[in-house]
Structure 1
Amino acid sequence: MGIDAMSQTQIQLDFNGRKITLVGTAHVSKESVEEVKETIKNIKPDCVAVELDEKRAESIKNPSRYSQLDLVKILKRKEGFLLLANLILSSYQRRMGLNAGVKPGDEMIAAMNAAEENKIACTLVDRPIQITLKRAWGKNTFLGKCKLLATLFASAFSNEEVDPNEIEKLKERNEMDSMMDELSEYMPVIKEVLIDERDRYLASKIWDSEGNNIVAVLGAGHLPGVQAYLEKLGNDQASSNVKELATLPKPGIAGKIFAFLIPACIIGLIVAGFIYGGVHAGTQILSTWFLWNAIPAAIFTAIAFGHPIAILVGFIGAPFTSLCPFIGIGFCTAIVQATVCKPKVSDMETLQDDVNFKGFYKNRILRTLLVFILSSIGSTIGTFIGGADIISILNNIH
């Protein structure tokens, strides 16, 4: 196997005559668009591999895709967080691209168009975004999920403008190494799922692409990892079977136990209050649990500017959903919010533009998602504080 470092953004690998050229791009870079076109034109590969999955490719080609959005169905499928994360990530890239004069994914479109124009086979080699986001969420700890939410909202509400020159630096190896090191330290699970797993997935799909001369267009941050895994595949040190990376991680037995343990403990503490403290103590514990769950859930729903009925549902429902591992209060309040304040066509048309502080309250879709997230946070806070308060009351029973 030979390696020819063609430039800072390109790597050419030779596996006994089978050539794979990796083209590293910044996803909102004019230079990347032109580089992709020129590379495909000059190399004339047998196949062009693109860092996209089918849904992301369709979304890039069809910017009005959100006009068919059914928010209630998404909430029922428990994909509210996935939609929110996807919107924030794509909106952040879009804002970066405005300063550079391009839209996110333009270099991928350029690669697909160049392949079509030159009658070259084109294959999509990225893992479905839903799988990636679900794995990132499912593999995270509670603290990790809090960090992820905080990071997403910080990027959504940020008004920071990115200089086009800074965007170009994203293709430089030292800049990417620094970013990867920071991400690895702050959110190691996210780095593992978003970068490491996808490096392996991308490399395997590129390796399985047809032809002896392949050009792969991918984000510059994936270059080192994809190159390393391709070299392992070329030396028969790894398998291109990545089936396990395309499935959702099964909840561990500890997670299943924990989901039932807290409700069981709370119910046990309430029953203990009635047994050892009589009706007065039992009633006090019951009301404590109810108010500690009801008030934060209602307050956080109100902070999201939820409809009064959604706030009421949060107040009444949180004490009960906190004791049920199968349904959360966020689902209940969001369904009510989406039903009472049905999204308009204009909300769907401006969805990506509205991913900012004002937009979350103006756009009915985003406000519903905000109700979903904040009411869930309020109920979680109430569960822990309420449980601690119940234990304190029981300790005072003589």
Structure 2
Amino acid sequence: MSQDAAPSPQNGRVQVVGTAHVSKESVAEVEETIRAERPDVVAVELDEGRYRQMRGGTPDDIEPSDLLSGNTVFQFIAYWMLSYVQAQLGEKFDISPGADMLAAVDTAEEEGIDVALVDRDIQTTIQRFWARMSVVEKFRMAGGLAFGVSDARAVGVVVGLLAGVLVGPLVGLFGGSLGITPFVLGRVTGGVILAVAAGLALQTLAEGFTDGDDALVVGLGGGLAVGLVGGVGLGLAAPLVDRLSPFLVSAVGSLAIGIAVGVTAGGLCGLVAYRLGLGTYEDVEEFDVEDLTDADVVSVMMEEFRAFSPGGAEALIDERDAYIAHQLVALRQNGAHVVAVVGAGHRAGIESYLERPETLPPMESLVGVPQKRGIPWGKIVGVGLSVVFVGFFVLLAMAGVRNGFLLRVFAAWFLINGLFAAAGAKLAGARWLSAAVGGAVAWLTSVNPLLAPGWFTGYMELRHAPVNVADIGRLNELLADETRSIREIVSDMFDVPLFRLIMIVALTNIGSIVASLLFVAYVLPLFAADLGGVDAVTRLMLDGAANSADLLWRAVS
């Protein structure tokens, strides 16, 4: 629908056409309005990059240096999620997403009318969207992508999984006092071995009778049952476990216990919270194609985000309303008659600003990456971990521990982090040089969690395999294919540069995190035995602190 915003006597005027981005009726309305009004300018809700892509051009590649800014991969995931939902709705209603904007541009060019691209750069919008989301909202989004739900249940499972990875090493360190003996760890390790072997075998057999997805369910469910009953309960894998090193048995068993406890507890807490109505939000009401002229697809989705993530919706809806209104006010002040083609969900906000331009926020507040609100817990924890790591070596050195011992500890830290990070990168398909670079810096990024080895691995990959937003279209096509199994789809997704980059960055980081946990829980106690055990190391660190305090006191007195 279209509506004139109140013009100023000395200025031009702006006519706002609210469209549905996937509605055939909107395309016809756009064309008719432009030809009937013959404005000086047709303003469209596009930025330069999306316009170029819509015209068949190639989007800008990610610059390797951009990956070291921190959240580039996460921003691409957010953009992918938004693009996928819009593409699915476009397929449902048999119209290409963005056809209304393309019709506006084509009609304007046919009539010899200037075109103005008035939307904010999509990368800026996605960066601000990610920065505005809270940690809980990001967990929700991860749960929605992984499990198909984005309420308290998903948050509980995701948080439980992460907590379980942290709990596992604690089980290895202190499990003995809780009754988790080497015998129990051996049984659990045997259960893991049988679960993996049985799961793979059952999935292979099931593929001959069912489709790939059902076979995967059979493999997961059957493997878990065999592992619990045959491995943990009956100890059928005991002969194999006895051949493994005590270190490996302790590591696998304690991690498995930690993850099982974390996921179970998180899932139960999430389910209870969901039943109590905590952490939920109201879904947008159902709509059909006739309703789309009043609520376009993107805006319907964004209204869900407004309930789900007020900060994210602010970046995706409210800020863009203000940004577009700034552009339209400038055109109006130049005396132009403007037809502005925007999503119907943006029309009310834009028209409000056009009627009262003095209420527009400053343009500088709508661009750039905003500072995150609240206490920067991530930076605080990161700095704290760095201090603890450095302090460990300093205090032992001040206590008189031999340099050779400290060098061996550091070498073990370097090698374990490097091997796990590089292995994760190679598992995702990274080049050997990229994996080696990620492994070489993993020890440093483990000391400073504000950095990540995956950024460096991804940086090296981007020097050889460019990635841009056009890859998202290919990923959307793969995800929309309902005729193939999940395994086949995932295999093809690894052939898409963007997905491979995301997985390389993620698995490099995960490898480094797992290595750090294993080192603290299992390797460090082995070194501590050379000094008399964990209690002896603690006493040495206290002695080092006392010696450091004494040295400082002498220096200032």
- On whether the aligned pair clears a TM of 0.5, the verdict is yes
| 2:115 paired residue among 94, 103, 122 | 122
5 Å-filtered alignment, 1:106-121, equals 106-121=99-114
Give the Cα–Cα distance (whole angstroms) in 1 for the partners of residues 111 and 102 of structure 2: 14
State whether structure 2 residue 203 is matched by structure 1 residue 209. Answer: no
Instruction: Extract unaligned runs of 5+ from structure 2.
Output: 149-286, 480-489, 540-557
Identity rate, percent: 30
Question: Which residue is equivalent to 1:6?
Answer: none
| 2:313 paired residue among 185, 191, 208 | 191
Question: Which residue is equivalent to 2:474?
Answer: 353
Change in CA separation of 1:10 and 1:344 when aligned onto 2, cut-off 3 Å: closer
Instruction: Point out the structure with max Rg over C-alpha.
Output: 2
Could you tell me which amino acid in structure 1 is paired with residue 496 of structure 2?
N
Question: Which residue is equivalent to 2:508?
Answer: 375
Secondary structure of the 2:341 match is strand
Secondary structure of the 2:331 match is coil
Change in CA separation of 1:184 and 1:292 when aligned onto 2, cut-off 3 Å: farther
Question: Which residue is equivalent to 1:46?
Answer: 40
Question: Which residue is equivalent to 2:366?
Answer: 245
Could you tell me which amino acid in structure 2 is paired with residue 224 of structure 1?
A
5 Å-filtered alignment, 1:11-22, equals 11-16=3-8, 19-22=13-16
Any idea what the Cα deviations from partners look like across 1:249-277, whole Å, max 9, x if unmatched? 35799576665444233322343355569
Any idea what the Cα deviations from partners look like across 1:173-221, whole Å, max 9, x if unmatched? 5998875453123222211111111111112212222445422111222
5 Å-filtered alignment, 1:1-398, equals 9-16=1-8, 19-63=13-57, 65=58, 69=61, 72=64, 75=67, 79-83=72-76, 85-87=78-80, 89-147=82-140, 166=288, 169-173=291-295, 179-210=301-332, 211=335, 213-233=337-357, 236=358, 238-239=359-360, 241-249=362-370, 260-273=383-396, 275=398, 278=401, 293=417, 297=421, 300-301=424-425, 304-307=428-431, 310-311=434-435, 313-324=437-448, 327-338=451-462, 342-343=464-465, 352-355=473-476, 356=479, 357-379=490-512, 396=535, 397-398=538-539
Give the Cα–Cα distance (whole angstroms) in 2 for the partners of residues 277 and 145 of structure 1: 46
The TM-score normalised by the length of structure 2 is 0.55
- Bigger drift between 313-322 and 125-134 goes to 313-322
Change in CA separation of 1:275 and 1:309 when aligned onto 2, cut-off 3 Å: same
**RMSD over equivalenced CA pairs, Å:** 4.4
Any idea what the Cα deviations from partners look like across 1:38-75, whole Å, max 9, x if unmatched? 12222333322111111211111125x15x74764664
Any idea what the Cα deviations from partners look like across 1:117-163, whole Å, max 9, x if unmatched? 223332111111122122223444555555556656789xxxxxxxx
Any idea what the Cα deviations from partners look like across 1:252-303, whole Å, max 9, x if unmatched? 9957666544423332234335556946996897588658855764565456
Give the Cα–Cα distance (whole angstroms) in 2 for the partners of residues 229 and 150 of structure 1: 36
CA contact (8 A) 1:289 1:387 kept: no
Change in CA separation of 1:359 and 1:389 when aligned onto 2, cut-off 3 Å: same
Give the Cα–Cα distance (whole angstroms) in 2 for the partners of residues 365 and 188 of structure 1: 28
The TM-score normalised by the length of structure 1 is 0.73
Secondary structure of the 2:475 match is coil
Could you tell me which amino acid in structure 1 is paired with residue 474 of structure 2?
D
Give the Cα–Cα distance (whole angstroms) in 2 for the partners of residues 386 and 223 of structure 1: 56
Question: Which residue is equivalent to 2:220?
Answer: none
Change in CA separation of 1:148 and 1:378 when aligned onto 2, cut-off 3 Å: farther
Could you tell me which amino acid in structure 2 is paired with residue 266 of structure 1?
F
CA contact (8 A) 2:43 2:117 kept: yes
CA contact (8 A) 1:343 1:365 kept: no
Secondary structure of the 2:97 match is coil
Instruction: Extract unaligned runs of 5+ from structure 1.
Output: 1-8, 156-164
CA contact (8 A) 1:132 1:194 kept: yes
Give the drift of 1:348. Answer: 10
